Amino acid sequence: MPEDYACHYLPNGIRLIFMPTKKFKTISLGLFIHQELNRDVVALNALLPSVLEQGCRLYPDYLTIQRVLENLYGAELGTDIIKSGERHIIAFTLETAHDQYLGANGKLLQQGMAILGAVVGDPLLIDDSFNDIYVAQEKNQLIKDIKALLNDKGAYALERCLSLMCAEERFGIYKLGRVEDYGAINAARLYSYYCDLFTHNPIDLYVIGDLIEEQVLETAAEIFNFSRNGRSDTLPETEIMGTVSEVKYAEDEMNVNQSKLVLGFRTATGYKDELYCPLLVYSGVLGGFPHSKLFMKVREEAGLAYYIHSRLERHKGLMVLAAGINYSDYQKARDIIDLQIEDMASGKISDAELDNTKRGLINQLRSQQDSPNQLISSHLEGFIGGRVYTIDELSEGIEAVGREEIMAVAERIKLDTVYLLRPREGGSTENDND
Amino acid sequence: MTMTDKYKLIENRALQETLYYYRVDPGMDVYVLPKPGYQKKYAIFSTRFGSIDNRFRVEPEEDFTVVPDGVAHFLEHKLFEDDRGNVFDRFASLGASANAFTSFTQTTYLFSCTANFKENLDQLLNFVQEPYFTEQTVQKEQGIISQEIKMYEDHPHWRVFFNLLEALYREHPVRNDIAGTVESIAQITPELLYRCYNTFYHPSNMAVFVVGDLIPEEVGRQVEENLANHHYQPMGSIVRLYPHEPAEITRERIAQELVVSEPIFFLGFKDIVVDKLRGRDLMRREILMELVLDIMFGSSEALYNDLYREDLIDENFGAEYTAEINYGFTMIGGETKDPDQLYQRIMEIVAHVKKEGVSTEQFERHRRKILGGYIRRFNSLEFIANNFLAYRFRGTDLFELPSILQEIRCEEALALVEENLEPARHAVSLIFPQADQ
C-alpha cells in the first residue's frame, strides 16, 4: 500500500497498478488471475501456472524459457497458486534488475513484460489444446506436492486443523486440492478452462520500479492485448461463519519427536468489518510478537515451547494458534493458553502489551513498503477483501483501539477446532525428562 | 579525535552504493550503508563465535577451554534475558522487531524499525554487552532449546543436511548440529556461558552493520560513544583450535527413516583446498563454483530438464557450494523417487564436465545470471547486512563480487571441477519414508 500508485484499466479490462519508485534496484511485475476457491476447479487452477511455465508458443520448452531469462540478466519468472479467504489466485511474477545497474538502455521493462506476456497469454498449443505431455507431467508433480505436505509437520498440522474446521465450507479446500481432483483433467479440458478464465475473470497486473507511467501503460497495453470481456465477472465473497455449536477435537499419531498443537478459532470478523483493527490488535497482544502473552507465558515463563504464536486469516475471519510442545505437556500448555484467552476477554491487558502491540503492527505496515513483493501482496489483499486501506488509515485505526474494542472483538472469538499431531504411542523417540 | 577523521568510503559502481566504514575503539568495525527512501532501518551486531568454536584460548593463556556442543546458540538465547527482564519487551516498546541467529561461524543480533532508530541501536548495543546468566534462567532455557532441537529432528531437510556433514567430516565440529543435542546442552552452566562471553564478545571480535535512510557519521559516532561507556580493556588474541581433518570422509552413505512422502537424496563432496585460501582467492573459488554448479545442475541446462521429465526430481532440485575459512563442501540433491538413478546421473555429469569442460556460451549466460541476481538482492536490507558481515568475517568483501565475476574465465572451470568434485571424497545422505508411517 504505497501512498503513491496509479490504477488504470487496459482496453481489454485488465487492471494495471503501477507503483513508481526509485528505491529498488529492480523492475517487478506481477500478474494475478482471480478465481473462486471451489472444489470443481481447484485442481485446474493449481495446474494452470505450472503448465504455462513449461513452455509457450515462442519458447516451446522450459529449458528455452530459462535460457531467455538468463540472458535477461537472470530475470526470475515465478508462478504460484494462492489461497486467500475463499479466493484462489493464479499468480505469475517476473523480476529483473533495473537497466541502470547493467547499462542496458531501458529495454528490460519491455523485454521482461514480453516474456511474461508470452508465457501467460500465448501458450504452446497443439490442435486447440495444451501439450499433453506437459499436462501429465505437471499433474504428477502437483500430486507429489500434495503428498509432500507431510514433510513439513507444522504446515501439515495447520492444514489438517483448517480442513477439519471448515469441512463444510469452501475454505476447507486445500490450495492444491486432493489427489483425486486431478484424475479427470486432460490437456483439452485444461485449455478450454484457461480460455474461459481469461475471458471472464478479473486480472490484475502490477508494475513496480523506476519507470515512466506512459511507457508502462503503452507497453502493457501492447503486450497484454488478448481479447476478453471488457468487464470481469464478480466473484462471490468469502463467507464468514461466526457460530460454533461444539468444539471439535482431533489428533493424529505419527512417528515424530515433537507434538504440534493447532487451535482454530472463529472471529466472525472480516476484512471490511468495523472491528477489523481491534482484531489485529487482539491477535497481536495474544500471540503475534515475542512480547505477546503466549510467547511470554508459555515459552519464556514455563519453558514449554520453542515456537508459539497466533495468526489471522483476515478474509475468512479465522485465528489460528500454533505451538510445538512435548505431548506430556499438552494439558499444562492448554491451561496456560486458555488463561491467556480469558485474560483477553476480560480486558486484562497491560498498557505495555497494548502499546507495544500497536507499535509492532504499525512497524510491520511501514516495513512492507520496502519490498516489491510485499507492496504487491498487501495491495492485492485489498482487492481480495473488497477494500484497499491506505497505511495511514490502518495505522490510525490501530492507534485508536482501546481495551473496550478488544473486549468487544473477544466476545466474538470462539474456539472451533483443537488439532494435535502427536508421537505414536509406544514410540521410542519421545523424551520427557527435560 | 572525532569520528569523521577516521571514516573510509567504499564505493561500488555496479551497484551505485556508497558504504561508510569506521574503526572504533577498542578495535571494532562499523559499517553504514545509506538507503534513501527506505522506511525501515536494519542493524546487526555480530560476533565471530559460532557452533564450530568449541576449543579456544585467549593469549597469553596456555590451556584450551573445551565447551559442549551448542554453547554459542545457547548463549544467543540467554542474552535476551537480564535482571530487568526480557529484552524483546524493550525493543517492542520502541516499536522495533528484534531477533538473533547462530550459524557455524557467527552469532548475530538484529533489529529492524521504522521509528526510534537511535534508541533501538543503543538498546541493541547495550543488551549484547550486558550478559546475565543464572542457574535458574539457564535451566529454563534448556527446556525451550530442547523443543527447538526436537523440531529440527522432525525436519527432513535439516536432517539430510546434517547427516551429510556427519558423513563427510570425521573430526571437524561442522559435523555437529548448531543447537547441540539435548544431552550436550544439559551440561551448560552459567560459568561456561560467562567464559565464552568474555572471550568472544569483546568488541575486537565483533562488528556492526547498519543500513537504511540514515546519516552515517551520526551512526558511527553513536556506536563509538556507546562502546566508550563500557570501558573496555584490550584483550589478547583468540586462538581457536580445530582438530586436524583428514582428507578422507567418514562414510560413503548415511540413511535415516522419517515420516516423508518420498526419499530425499543429497550427494556431497568435501573440499580440502579451501582452508589454504584467504580473502579474494576464497571468494573467487566460491563464485566460480557457484557458476560451474549452475551450468551442471541449473534449470536452464539439459540435465535438470531431462531429470525433471523423467520424474527423478522436482523443482526444488539444486546444487550449492559453501566455502568457509576452514571447511568447504558441495551439496547436490532433492526429493526423488529413485535415489540410485539420480546418483548415477549426477556422477555422470561430473565425469562429463571433467572431460569436456563447459562452453563459452554457457559460461557467459550464467555469468550474466549471477550478476543480475546479485543486483536484485540489494533490494533487501537484511540480505545486504547479513551477507556483508558474513563475507567480512571470512576475510572477503561482498562488494567485490561484480569485479571478481568479470575476472573468472571459462577455462578455469575444468580444473576446478577436477580438483574439487573428487569421487574419493563424496558421500550420500538419504532420508527414506518409514515403513509403517
Structural domains of chain B in order of their starting residue, each with its CATH number: 3-240 (3.30.830.10), 253-433 (3.30.830.10)
Cα dihedral A283, A288, A293, A295, rounded to 10, equals 150
Which of A73, A144, A257 has the CB atom closest to B314's CB atom?
Answer: A144
Q: Strand A76-84 vs strand A87-97: parallel, antiparallel, or unpaired?
A: antiparallel
Q: Is B308 on the interface with A (CB under 8 A)?
A: yes
- Minimal Cα distance from B145: which residue of A? A306
Confidence of residue A62 (pLDDT cuts 50, 70, 90): very high
Residue A431 clears pLDDT 80, i.e. is over it: no
Q: How far is B223 from chain A (nearest CA, A)?
A: 24
Cell numbers found for residue B124: 541493541
Please judge whether A356 and B92 are an interchain contact, meaning their C-beta atoms are less than 8 angstroms apart. Answer: yes
Number of neighbours of residue B20 by Cβ within 10 angstroms:
20
Residue A413 clears pLDDT 70, i.e. is over it: yes
Average pLDDT estimate for B8-31 = 94
Please report residues of B whose CB lies closer than 8 A to that of A67. 300, 365
Q: How far is A243 from chain B (nearest CA, A)?
A: 34
Report the C-alpha gap between B131 and A367 in whole angstroms.
30
Report the C-alpha gap between B420 and B425 in whole angstroms.
9
CB B69 within 8 A of CB B186: no
Q: Which residues of B are catalytic?
A: 76
DSSP B376-396: HHTT-HHHHHHHHHHHHHTT-
Q: Give me the pLDDT at residue B5, please.
A: 56
Report the C-alpha gap between B293 and B318 in whole angstroms.
9
Residue B130 clears pLDDT 80, i.e. is over it: yes
Average pLDDT estimate for A35-41 = 97
Q: How far is B242 from chain A (nearest CA, A)?
A: 31
Residue B1 clears pLDDT 50, i.e. is over it: no
Confidence of residue B436 (pLDDT cuts 50, 70, 90): confident
Average pLDDT estimate for A60-67 = 98
Domains A6-223 and A248-423 share a fold: yes
SS3 B83: coil
Element (H, E) at B373: helix B360-377
Residue B208 DSSP symbol: E
Average pLDDT estimate for A100-128 = 94
Total length of chain B? 437
**Residue entry with cell 472491528:** A275
Q: What is the pLDDT of residues A95-108, one digit of tens each?
A: 999 999 998 778 99
Contacts of A369 (CB under 8 A, 6+ apart): A1, A2, A375, A391, B39
Domains of chain A: which residue ranges? 6-223, 248-423
Q: What is the pLDDT of residues A376-403, one digit of tens each?
A: 999 999 999 999 999 999 999 999 999 9
Confidence of residue A427 (pLDDT cuts 50, 70, 90): low
Cα dihedral A203, A207, A211, A216, rounded to 10, equals -10
Average pLDDT estimate for A120-130 = 96
The CATH code belonging to domain A248-423 is: 3.30.830.10
Cell numbers found for residue B347: 556422477
Percent of chain A with pLDDT over 90: 94
- Minimal Cα distance from A147: which residue of B? B261
Report the mean per-residue pLDDT for chain B.
96
Q: What is the pLDDT of residues A175-189, one digit of tens each?
A: 999 999 999 999 999
Total length of chain A? 434
ipTM of the complex: 0.94
The closest alpha carbon to B270, from B228, B196, B323, B345, belongs to: B323
Q: Give me the pLDDT at residue A105, please.
A: 79
Please judge whether B437 and A296 are an interchain contact, meaning their C-beta atoms are less than 8 angstroms apart. Answer: no
Please judge whether A356 and B182 are an interchain contact, meaning their C-beta atoms are less than 8 angstroms apart. Answer: no
Report the C-alpha gap between B427 and B162 in whole angstroms.
12
Confidence of residue A230 (pLDDT cuts 50, 70, 90): low
Confidence of residue A432 (pLDDT cuts 50, 70, 90): very low
Please report residues of B whose CB lies closer than 8 A to that of A256. 154, 259
Please report residues of A whose CB lies closer than 8 A to that of B362. none
Q: Strand B28-34 vs strand B206-212: parallel, antiparallel, or unpaired?
A: parallel
Task: Count residue pairs from A and B with Cβ separation < 8 A.
Answer: 206
Q: What is the pLDDT of residues B358-413, one digit of tens each?
A: 999 999 999 999 999 999 999 999 999 999 999 999 999 999 999 999 999 999 99
Confidence of residue B312 (pLDDT cuts 50, 70, 90): very high
Lowest average pLDDT, out of A101-105, A147-151, A165-169, B215-219, goes to A101-105
* Pick among A22, A160, A257 to test the B interface (most B CBs inside 10 A): A257
Top-tier CATH class for A6-223: alpha beta
Cell numbers found for residue A419: 488439532
- The pTM for the full model equals 0.95
Please report residues of A whose CB lies closer than 8 A to that of B435. none
Q: Give me the pLDDT at residue B423, please.
A: 95
Please report residues of B whose CB lies closer than 8 A to that of A137. 308-309, 311
CB B290 within 8 A of CB B403: no
